[in-house]
């Protein structure tokens, strides 16, 4: 080996470097994966199914407020509230349905999810 070789600076090595297709493709894949990880974990991105579930939950919660308002209009609501509290948790939504509070104006039949959310709200507020 020759000891008289010139040292090449970092800038010169950078100028002479040529990326291969494999390296460019690897960086592109890594950038896509990193973007997805950051977006879904911290960026607030959700899938279509998750967005639909959140929207359904919001509608149920909103309609549960209507159910509570119908409970408030019931003349014997305090006695019925104590009866509701005596029921087991899995029976409370059926009790709300029986009372007719979960039938939203304009609907013909009650929604069980609305009834369950309404029963939960009534028990929480009544404590």
| Residue 106, in any domain of the structure | yes
The Cα–Cα gap between 111 and 57 comes to 13
55/50 Cα distance (integer angstroms): 9
Mean pLDDT of 52-61: 95
CB-based contact 74:101 (threshold 8 Å): yes
Residue pair 60/54 in contact (Cβ under 8 Å)? The answer is no
Phi, psi dihedrals of residue 104, rounded to the nearest 5°: -75, 135
Q: Is residue 118 part of a domain?
A: yes
Q: Determine, yes or no, domain membership for 120.
A: yes
What pLDDT score does 24 carry?
Answer: 93
Domain assignment of residue 83, yes or no? yes
Output the pTM of the full model. Answer: 0.67
DSSP codes joined into one string, 74-102: -TTHHHHHHHHHHS-HHHHHHHHHHHTTT
pLDDT in tens, 86-124: 999 999 999 999 999 999 988 899 989 999 999 999 998
Domain assignment of residue 59, yes or no: yes
Domain for residue 26, yes or no? no
DSSP letter assigned to residue 72: H
For the CA atoms of 114, 107, 125, 54, what is the dihedral angle to 10 degrees? 40
pLDDT number for residue 4:
54
| Confidence label for 127 from pLDDT (cuts 50, 70 and 90) | low
Q: How many domains does the chain have?
A: 1
Instruction: Give the integer Cα–Cα distance in Å for 125 and 113.
Output: 18
In a domain, residue 98? The reply is: yes
For residue 54, the enclosing domain spans 48-125
What is residue 3's predicted lDDT score, i.e. its pLDDT? 55
């Amino acid at each position: 080996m020759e000891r008289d070789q010139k040292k090449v600076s970092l800038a010169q090595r950078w100028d002479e470097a040529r990326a291969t297709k494999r390296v460019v493709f690897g960086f592109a894949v890594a950038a896509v994966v990193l973007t997805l990880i950051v977006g879904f974990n911290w960026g607030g991105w959700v899938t279509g199914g998750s967005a639909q579930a959140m929207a359904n939950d919001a509608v149920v919660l909103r309609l549960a407020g209507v159910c509570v308002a119908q409970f408030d209009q019931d003349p014997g609501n305090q006695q019925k509230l104590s009866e509701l509290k005596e029921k087991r948790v899995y029976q409370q939504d059926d009790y709300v349905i029986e009372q007719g509070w979960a039938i939203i104006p304009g609907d013909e039949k009650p929604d069980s999810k609305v009834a369950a959310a309404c029963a939960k709200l009534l028990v929480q507020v009544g404590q």
